[in-house]
Amino acid sequence: GGRYSALKPIAAMVNDPATHCELVSNYTKLMNNELQTIQVASTISPEAFNKFPKVTIMSALFEETALYIVWRKTYGVTFEADTEIAKYIDRDPHTCWGNKVHIGYILHPEDSVSVSLWKRDYQTGERDGDAGGTVIQEALIQLSTLVSGWTGKTLIHTNNAHTAMAERTFDQDKAVSIPADARGFNEHKGVHNIISTGVTHPNQSQAVWLQRVLGIPSEAVYRMFRIHTTYQAINRTSLRDPASTANKLLIVGDKATHDWLLTLYKDSCSIGQVTKLHRMAGRKPRKAKVERLSDRDGYIERREGVKVAKRRLARAQASGDTSKVEGARTQLKEVEDAYQYWRSFG
Give residue-wise pLDDT tens across range 13-30.
Answer: 888 888 888 888 777 887
Burial class (CB in 10 A: 0-12, 13-18, 19+), 94: middle
> What is the spatial distance between Cα 149 and Cα 257, in angstroms, rounded to a whole number?
25
pLDDT, tens only, 97-153: 988 999 999 999 999 898 888 988 888 777 776 655 899 999 999 999 999 999 999
Phi, psi of 193 (to 5 degrees): -115, 145
Residue 176 DSSP SS3: strand
Mean pLDDT within 82-95: 88
| DSSP bridge partners of 103 | 250, 270
Q: Of the segments 34-38, 229-233, 293-297, which one has the largest average pLDDT value?
A: 229-233
> What is the spatial distance between Cα 180 and Cα 316, in angstroms, rounded to a whole number?
62
Cβ-based neighbours of 300, under 8 Å, separated by 6 or more: none
Return the DSSP state at 187.
T
Residue 91 neighbours by CB distance under 10 Å: 8
Q: How many residues does the chain have?
A: 346
Cβ-based neighbours of 289, under 8 Å, separated by 6 or more: none
Residue 3 neighbours by CB distance under 10 Å: 6
> What is the spatial distance between Cα 199 and Cα 118, in angstroms, rounded to a whole number?
10
Cβ-based neighbours of 122, under 8 Å, separated by 6 or more: 129, 133, 134, 135, 137, 138, 139, 277, 280
Phi, psi of 102 (to 5 degrees): -120, 130
Instruction: Report the amino acid identity of residue 34.
Output: E
Residue 250 DSSP SS3: strand
Q: Of the segments 34-38, 155-159, 279-283, which one has the largest average pLDDT value?
A: 155-159
State which H helix or E strand residue 27 sits in: helix 27-31
Cβ-based neighbours of 295, under 8 Å, separated by 6 or more: none
Task: Provide the pLDDT for residue 343.
Answer: 67
